[in-house]
Amino acid sequence: MSEIGFDDFLKVDIRAGRIIRAEPYTEARVPALKLWMDFGPELGERKSSAQIVKQYEPEALIGKMVMAVVNFPPRQIGKFMSEVLVLGVPDSEGEVVLLRPDLDVEPGARMY
C-alpha cells in the first residue's frame, strides 16, 4: 500500500448522489447496470455503469443514495459514457456492495 498526502486525498471529490434511474446494460461484456444519479444543483445529473447485477435489482435502486467520485474524466464503457465512479466494496463472495450514507443526505453533499 502506498501512502498519499492529505492534500492529495482532498483532490478526490466524493459526493452523495440519489439514483433516479437504473436499467440493465445488456450490451456490456460483463453484466452491469446503467445508473443515472442526481448530484444536486451544483453538479446535476450524472451517469455511470456498475457491475452490481448480482446484488441489486434496477427498480429497487431508485431513490437510494450512493457515494461516487465525481471529478474523474468521463470514461467510455462500450456504447455508454460513464461520468462518475460509483463506489463499492466486495462482499465475502467478491460481489460489489455499494457505499451509501446510512442516513438521508442532500444530493451533492461532499464527503469529508
| Architecture label for domain 6-98 | Beta Barrel (2.40)
* Beta-carbon contacts of residue 27 (< 8 Å; ≥ 6 apart): 78, 79, 80
* pLDDT per position as a tens digit, 8-37: 999 999 999 999 999 999 999 999 999 999
Q: Write down the domain spans for the chain.
A: 6-98
pTM listed for this prediction: 0.94
Residues 55 and 15: beta-carbon distance below 8 Å: no
pLDDT digits (tens, 9 = 90+) for 68-106: 999 999 999 999 999 999 999 999 999 999 999 999 999
- Looking at residue 17, what is its pLDDT? 98
